[in-house]
Amino acid sequence: MSDSSQAQAARLLGGRFPRFPLLAAALVAAVSALAIAVLLNGGDSHAHAAGRAARATTNVHRTQASATPATVTAARGPAAAGAHGATGGKRANVSEVADPQEANSFPAPASVQHKAAATPSKAGEQVVAAGAPSDAEVKHELAQMQAVERSAKQAQQQRLTPVAGGNSVAGNGAIPIPANVPEVIQRVIAGANAITDFPYVFGGGHASFVDNAYDCSGSVSYALAAGGLLSAPQTSGELESWGAPGPGRYITVYANAGHTYMYVDGVLYDTAGRSGVYASRWQVSPTDNSGYVARHWPGL
């Protein structure tokens, strides 16, 4: 209430109640206080309303900001998982080129006929190491088993007798499946054993895992598929991006645009360097890895 309004109220009250000047003054003060309180409360209400609106807007922005990463992750998650899948990386769609090592792989003549292979998954079931520990058990007992692994590898290397005049493993061409490696490695070895003496034919094993001859990448793809590490045959160029970079503990694939091979538990598996058309792909002596990309499966 303004000063003129207060004075006017005082005159009116004083005129009507001349005998009670103190009462008139008290009433004027009360009315003034009430008016000020109403004005102040009205201002606070507007301020509180504005504050609530601002907080609501802020909360909306916060909600949208927190929801955005989750939405993006949900949208990207399945696509990212699908892009990698069992192959350990998006396929580069690299076409097969001539294998520079073909002459050393004893390509089969047209007259050579060989039975068709089983599916990789079927071959991977031929694991002879009964009671092998699971991956979790191997990891848990890793420290205690290292000495045993070294001893087993030495014993295995002693059993890898080469064919006279060549590097291929003698006997039936298969190597023993060790009991002290993860089951997936046992399956890879079993798959490799299943086609170890198949002839070499460029492009063999690419139209289908089931074939009667395999080239370098067809052979490696078949063995990896037996371990569940590959879902479709890949060319040597595509295997350059398989898995993860660098050598692995149990398995290392070496690949370039024209040729590929691998080491499984320290033993070379290669079409080049065999001792004949039906000789084993397992070989006693290591080879020169220069010019090749090393890849491994994570954790293996």
Whether residues 112 and 249 fall in one domain? yes
- Per-residue model confidence as pLDDT tens digits over 148-170: 666 666 555 556 889 988 899 99
Residue 24: band (very low, low, confident or very high) from pLDDT cuts 50, 70, 90 = low
Average pLDDT over residues 84-111: 70
CA distances 166 to 77, 87, 162, 163, 246, Å, are: 50, 33, 7, 5, 29
**Averaged pLDDT, 123-145:** 67
Q: Is residue 88 part of a domain?
A: no
Residue 258, pLDDT score: 96
Label residue 54 by pLDDT band (50, 70, 90): very low
Is 187 part of a structural domain of the chain? yes
Predicted confidence (pLDDT) per residue in 168-194, tens digit: 999 889 999 998 999 999 999 999 999
More confident residue, 101 or 73: 101
Residues 74 and 99 in one domain: no
Residues 6+ apart with CB under 8 A from 56: none
Domain edge (last residue) among 23, 55, 82: 82
Q: What is the mean pLDDT of residues 214-232?
A: 97
Looking at residue 66, what is its pLDDT? Answer: 41
Q: Is there a single domain that holds both residue 77 and residue 104? A: no
Answer yes or no: do 51 and 166 share one domain.
no
Q: Give 41 or 105, the one with higher predicted confidence.
A: 105
- 119 & 12 share domain: no
pLDDT the model gives residue 1? 53
Q: Which residue has the higher pLDDT, 114 or 10?
A: 114
The number of folded domains in the chain is 2
Task: Please tell me the predicted confidence (pLDDT) of residue 264.
Answer: 97
Q: Are residues 115 and 197 in the same domain?
A: yes
d(CA 232, CA 180): 28
Residues 64 and 170 in one domain: no
Least confident range from 45-54, 226-235, 270-279: namely 45-54
Residue 265 falls inside a structural domain: yes
Does residue 121 fall inside a structural domain?
A: yes
d(CA 10, CA 29): 10
State whether 194 and 69 are in the same domain: no
pLDDT at position 84, please? 41
Average pLDDT of span 245-274: 97
Which pLDDT does position 82 carry in this prediction? 36
> Would 45 be classed as within a structural domain?
yes
Mean pLDDT in residue range 232-261: 97
Of 82, 103, 124, the position where a domain reaches its end is 82
- CA distances to 72, 184, 185 from 133, rounded to whole Å, are 40, 11, 12
State which of 54, 82, 110 marks the end of a domain. Answer: 82
**Is 110 found in the same domain as 61?**
no
By residue range, what is the domain housing residue 285? 94-296
Average pLDDT of span 72-94: 44
Q: Is it the case that residue 257 has pLDDT exceeding 80?
A: yes
Domain check: are 185 and 255 in the same one?
A: yes
Return the closest-CA partner of residue 260 out of 235, 223, 243, 231. 235
What does the pLDDT look like over 197-209, one tens digit per residue?
999 999 999 999 9
Whether 38 is in a domain gets the answer yes
Distance CA(191)–CA(160), nearest Å, equals 18
Say what the pLDDT of residue 105 is: 87
CATH of the domain at 111: 3.90.1720.10
Answer yes or no: do 60 and 207 share one domain.
no
Q: How far apart are CA 183 and CA 133, in angstroms?
A: 7
60: in domain: yes
Q: What is the mean pLDDT of the chain?
A: 75
Question: Which residue is associated with the tokens 């890879």?
Answer: 188
Shared domain check, 257 and 120:
yes
